[in-house]
Amino acid sequence: MKRIISFILALPLLAGCGASSVDTNLIPNADQTQISRVEPPCWWVGMNTKLQLLVQGPDISLCEPALSGGKGVKIAKVTKAESPNYLFIDVDIAPDAKAGEFHLLFTAPDGTSFKYRYELGERRKGSAQRGSYGTADAIYLLMPDRFCNMDKSNDRTEDTADKTGNESFFGRYGGDIAGIESKLDYISDLGMTAIWCTPLLLDNEPVASYHGYACADYYKIDTRIGSNESYKALVAKMHEKGLKMIMDCVPNHCGGAHWWMKDLPFNDWVHQWPSYTKSNCAFSIHNDPYVSKKDKAEMEGGWFDTSMPDMNLDNPFVLQYFKQWAVWWIEYADLDGLRVDTFPYNEKYPISSWCKSVREEYPNINIVGEVWSMNVPQVAYWQAGNPNKDGFDSHLPSIMDFCLQDAMCKAFNEDAGVWDGGMMRIYNSMANDAYFHDVDNMMVFPGNHDTEHIADMLGAHEGKWRCVMALMSTVRGYPQIFSGDELMQQSADLKWGHGGLRQLLPEAWEKDEKMARCHDYFKALFNYRKGSEAIQKGNTLHFLSRDNVYAYFRYTEKDVVFTFINNNPYSYTVPWADYSEFSLSLSSMGTDIVSGESIEMDKAVVPAYSPLVVSLKYND
């Protein structure tokens, strides 16, 4: 299934691929019968990433390409694919190349010629050194179609099969970029500093296309959500408001409706099987010393779903396509970071190369990968710099902490008396931080678009919900909150799985007393987090207890935050003296960060199923 491409034929080049003496005014522009698409659709001078153009058109491989115009730009190599309807053109862009345009010239076997204009732009000032998200951030996760619909004009579009207006559990609800923009102040007011949108790219599956994870065009925002231009404008508006944008990337699989599925450039552009073969989802194959070739092939090459063909990143043209694609969107839309879906499902060395390439272009960019496992060694394996026994380095700087998420969800559904249950699960999970290369650069979360709402998991118990949010806002790493969880929103109907989970943000939440109360509590916690060095940069000291409580300090030399979580059906007096190795250096008076009230720590009593988060000062 995975082979080195051998069907590569270099075409002869015209005049060193320059053809600069040609008067392009005399050559007609290509039409759709000659060139269907060129990707990436544009590029920039001063980039580290090599430019390899995918040119698609009927029998385009029979044409002889050349290049005209463009200072410091030339064709380095031309490669035919197995399909006659593709060419791959490597373009060299010199360090001193000037922004502007050049023309690709194509000469057909009958001697006729046509041209295609390609643009090279200037990069934004400081683009390569752009910042990203990290421990100072709190990320708001939303699913565009299921968030807020403000533009009714794009609810049904001619170029898409699945029409908005079918508000069944797996139908489209009409959420769009205009809806996201309308909620930016709301999101910022919550204390959030970044937004992670699940994919906004075109998903043209005939049913259940709302989630966006079955991409039909990697360079096009779904028209039911907006346009490339409106997405770019949204990011600019977010930056004005101090918010960052994180793009969801899916290099592991495309959608069955992707345009290239009708005519693959190479037969192994995607993994093909005699009959449908699903991935075995066994992440352990990547670090398994006894793994069979069969199991490895099914893990990396099996399809994620019947509508999601598995991309073959071992094909160098596929890999280069995705390297350029990620860089293109960062540069085009001025993005602040990436999230990668189903990270271990990819071929591990190519996806490592992908991460490395993106970070060579943007050294400070953060990329978080989904590694959905509760097995600590398997999750730790995927973070960059981890001392893996096989020497593998993913170059993935951040990972999602499913281990803590699993421990937390179980902990708040267990009573005291279980030896390693209840809050001991969280203590033990945190103790495993010794196995992670960079615990600060890990995404912590109570749930996301693939899990139940945290309110579902807790039986809509407000006290336990508060405990979870106190933990999320003060624990190491950086938090991600799924839209609606700040209001303690529940799924519409869990028997419908994802379709019942992914619902619109409640519009009238202020009129719901419980939602309004949760909103205000959440807002107080996360706005405090925005200004706390102890939470963002501090060390952690936690204390063991088998009484179903959990206590920890986050601290720097100047700033201390103490969190105490009582997961019992009765009140609990904070055992302040038990923490004397640290508490003796602190004033016994603290400030409740939510209420603002003064707290006398050696007399503090925490009600049943409640958290206490206190700001403390060192003794003079």
Return the active site residues.
Answer: 341, 370
Q: What is the DSSP letter of 48?
A: S
CA distances from 155 to 159, 161, 211, 216 (A): 12, 12, 15, 18
* Contact by Cβ (8 Å): 506, 512: yes
Both structure tokens of 572:
């609990």
**Residue 291 identity:** V
Both structure tokens of 396:
């993935």
Does residue 599 sit in helix, strand or coil?
Answer: strand
- Quote the CA–CA distance of 539 and 310 in Å, as a whole number: 42
CA distances from 162 to 151, 422, 562, 573, 589 (A): 17, 45, 50, 56, 59
Strand partners, 51: 91
* Contact by Cβ (8 Å): 51, 96: no
Does residue 212 sit in helix, strand or coil?
Answer: coil
Contacts of 316 (CB under 8 A, 6+ apart): 5
Sheet of 549-555, strand order: 539-543, 549-555, 560-566, 610-616, 589-592, 598-600
CA 376 to chain CA centroid, Å, is 21
**Residue 68 identity:** S
Q: What are the DSSP E strand ranges found in 376-509?
A: 398-400, 442-444, 478-482
Q: What is the DSSP letter of 567?
A: -
- Quote the CA–CA distance of 545 and 74 in Å, as a whole number: 67
**DSSP letter for each residue of 240-304:** HTT-EEEEEE--SB--TT-GGGGS-SSTTSB---SS--B----GGGGG-TT--HHHHHHHHHSBS
CA distances from 289 to 188, 296, 304, 466, 495 (A): 47, 12, 24, 43, 39
**DSSP letter for each residue of 293-355:** HHHHHHHHHSBSBTTBPBB-TTSHHHHHHHHHHHHHHHHHHT--EEEETTGGGS-HHHHHHHH
Both structure tokens of 555:
């601290």
Both structure tokens of 280:
């075995």
CA distances from 109 to 47, 63, 89 (A): 35, 6, 19
Both structure tokens of 312:
């073959």
